[in-house]
Amino acid sequence: MALNVYNTRTKRKEPFVPAHPKVVRIYTCGLTVYSAMHIGHARTYCFWDVFRRWLEYRGFHVISVINYTDIDDRIIANAAAGGTGMLDHAEQVIASFRADCRALAIKDYAAYTRATDFVAEQIEAVQALIDKGKAYVVDGEVLYDVRSFERYGELSGRTIDSLQEGASGRTDATERQRKRFFADFTLWKPSKAGEPSWDTGKEAWPSGRPGWHIECSVMSTSTLGQHFDVHGGGIDNLFPHHENEIAQAEPLCGHPWVGYWMHPAHLQLLDEDGKPIKMSKSLGNVISIPELREHHSADQIRWFFGVTHYRSSLAFNWQLVSEASKGFDKVKRAVTTLEQRLEQAPDEDLKIPVQGSYASLRGADQAIPRERESFVYGQYGEASARFIERFIAGMDDDMGTPKATAAVFDYVGELFAGGIEASDDVPSLLAAYRCLTRHLWVLGAELPNARLYPELAVECVGGAERDNAGGGREAALAGVIDKLLELRQEARKAKDFAKSDQIRDLLKDAGVAVEDTPKGPRWEVS
């Protein structure tokens, strides 16, 4: 078994073989920065993050690039409405995008390219397309001659003849008059008065701004090279954006330009009756990332996304996220339980003896992840081995996160049934803890404790903050809670249940949930 992914270009699942055996280069179409990202974008970007994490788990080094489209009519319009310039407006949206990504535990990309930083390269590419007879100039505007590209439509599975003019209801009559063919698209166009404009030094098209499609083709090849492994974007980008990108890039870079095209499906907002509704500003139903985070942790949100396969459209309403969150909470309780069982263990016991049992289950070329020997150990070793097998098989099958989450549930059930709540077997507990958190990390749920799993904790987006969070004030509060629980234990011992329940209620009112376990009380902030 090896990783297989669904390639939109071939409409098949294919073995994933990057151009370089150890390095994967990914370009993702990012945000047009006219307004902040919303849950729909979140679904897409979280998928890319899981994909990247899975590749890293698999031992690849990933170079991922995402772009900001910061030249766009809507940016200009929104900037004007807000009384700022286009670039200032873009700057603000980019800042909120980065904050939102952190809030969702999306790992940093190697590069975030901005269209305005690549204008010179775009001008060069446009000229090259003109020179190759792929583009023509009309009144200072450069248009791509779609009919000159024989493979046009191949990616999205259509033919030029099957396109219906105006079917999207968004065509512009005056633009149509300039085009030789209705599907021709803009590579470069003159700016209107007051809009940002760049000089090209070309006689026929002396100034203006680039079209949308050329931005991505140029940014991707400028950063990742003439050929790279994965090009992705939301399914809405499939046509015309990615089709046009291929039409631009292949005459310049060669065919095939990109190894794998991947397109996550959309998130679909549902109303109270369960009917799909359009998320739009005018309806006032756009859900932002801060709003989402008010109700759910990043881990819960990531889990919710993972339960549905990335190529299926995902229904969203608060009810559905809450149900998924409840499922995740059970998983988290297993992590918390293991953590608490290990809390008292001295540092010298937190080293896992290595044993090669798992390696023997697979061929040497499948020796993944690198830490596997430390996971398959002790009392829960067999359950862990089964879990890892299922998890890998699920993920390898075109990023089957639903299968991976199901494997996690079964594993967690086995750990509880195996008595983790009452166990003092530190090496076994630690191995299970690391096994579980390592795989949850792949799905974007970042739970490792820095003391118990330092190598993984540093991989986490919120790692540094999490480590510091334990100090100072919170530690003091924890001390108070522990003190109250001591009093409660004394009361329980004396069978003064009125008093013990009173303390529990008191803590509950303060947002601290108390549970009694065979090994004493356990609390968590709810």
Partner RNA sequence: GGCACGGUGGCCAAGUGGUAAGGCAGAGCUCUGCAAAAGCUCUAUUCGCCGGUUCGAUUCCGGCCCGUGCCUCCA
DSSP state of 27: E
| 343 vs 455, beta carbon nearer RNA | 343
- Secondary structure, 3-state, 190-231: CCCCCCCCEECCCCCCCEEEECHHHHHHHHHHHHHCCCEEEE
Residues 35-94 that bind RNA (CB under 7 A): 40-41, 43-44, 72-74
Contacts for 365 with CB less than 8 Å, ≥ 6 apart: none
Exposure string (b/e) for 340-368, b if CB count within 10 Å is 16 or more?
bbbeebeeeebebeeeebbeeeeeeeeee
Q: Considering beta carbons, is residue 182 or 318 the nearer one to RNA?
A: 182
403 is a site residue for RNA (CB under 7 A):
yes
Question: Which residue type occupies 69?
Answer: T
**Structure-token pair, residue 412:** 């967690």
Using CB under 7 A, pick the residue from 124, 236, 389, 425 that binds RNA.
Answer: 236
Q: How far is the CB of 385 from RNA (least distance, A)?
A: 17
Restricted to residues 17-46, the positions that interact with RNA (CB under 7 A) are 29-32, 40-41, 43-44
Q: Give residues with Cβ within 8 angstroms of 226, minimum separation 6.
A: 253, 254, 257
Q: Give me the residue label for tokens 């996220």.
A: 321
CB of 350 to RNA, least distance (A): 24
Contact 113, 30 (CB under 8 A): no
The residues facing 13 across adjacent strands are 6
x-marked contacts with RNA along 339-378 as a string, rule CB under 7 A? ----------------------------------------
Least distance CB 430 / RNA (angstroms): 19
Taking the complex as a whole, how short is the minimal distance between the CB of residue 518 and RNA, in angstroms? 7
- Decide whether 66 or 426 has the Cβ nearer to RNA: 66
CA distance 423 to 417: 11
Q: Residue 141: name the closest of 187, 97, 102, 101 by CA.
A: 187
Token pair 């030789």 is found at 180
Instruction: Tell me if 17 sits within 8 A of 260, measured CB to CB.
Output: no
Number of alpha carbons in the 13 Å side-chain half-sphere of residue 3: 20
Query: How many residues touch RNA (CB under 7 A)?
Result: 91
| Using rule CB under 7 A, residue 519 touches RNA | no
CB 301: neighbour CB atoms within 10 A? 27
Beta carbon of residue 524, minimum distance to RNA (angstroms, whole number): 10
Q: Binding site annotation covers 216?
A: yes
How far is Cα 313 from Cα 85, in angstroms, rounded to an integer? 36
With CB under 7 A as the contact rule, the residue among 266, 386, 451, 519 that binds RNA is: 266
Binders in 128-167 for RNA, by CB under 7 A: 156-158, 162-167
Which string of x and - marks every residue 205-224 that binds RNA (by CB under 7 A)?
------xx------------
CA distance 56 to 22: 10
Q: Cβ 319 to RNA, closest distance in Å?
A: 7
Nearer to RNA, 157 or 470 (CB): 157
Of the pair 293, 333, the CB lying nearest RNA is at 333
241 assigned binding-site residue: yes
Strands 228-232 and 23-32: parallel
Strands 23-32 and 61-69: parallel
Answer yes or no whether residue 112 interacts with RNA by CB under 7 A: no
Q: Does 397 bind RNA (CB under 7 A)?
A: yes
Identity of the residue, 176 or 370, whose beta carbon is nearer to RNA in the bound complex:
176
Interaction pattern, residues 287-326, with RNA; x per rule: CB under 7 A: --------------------xxx-xxxxx----x--xx-x
Least gap, CB of 471 to RNA (angstroms): 28
29 in a labelled binding site: yes
For residue 377, give Cα distances in angstroms to 103, 355, 412: 34, 7, 16
**The one among 267, 342, 430, 443 contacting RNA by CB under 7 A:** 267
Q: Which is nearer to RNA, 468 or 517 (CB)?
A: 517
Residue ranges of the annotated binding site for Zn(2+) are: 29, 216, 241, 245
Residue ranges of the annotated binding site are: 29, 216, 241, 245, 281
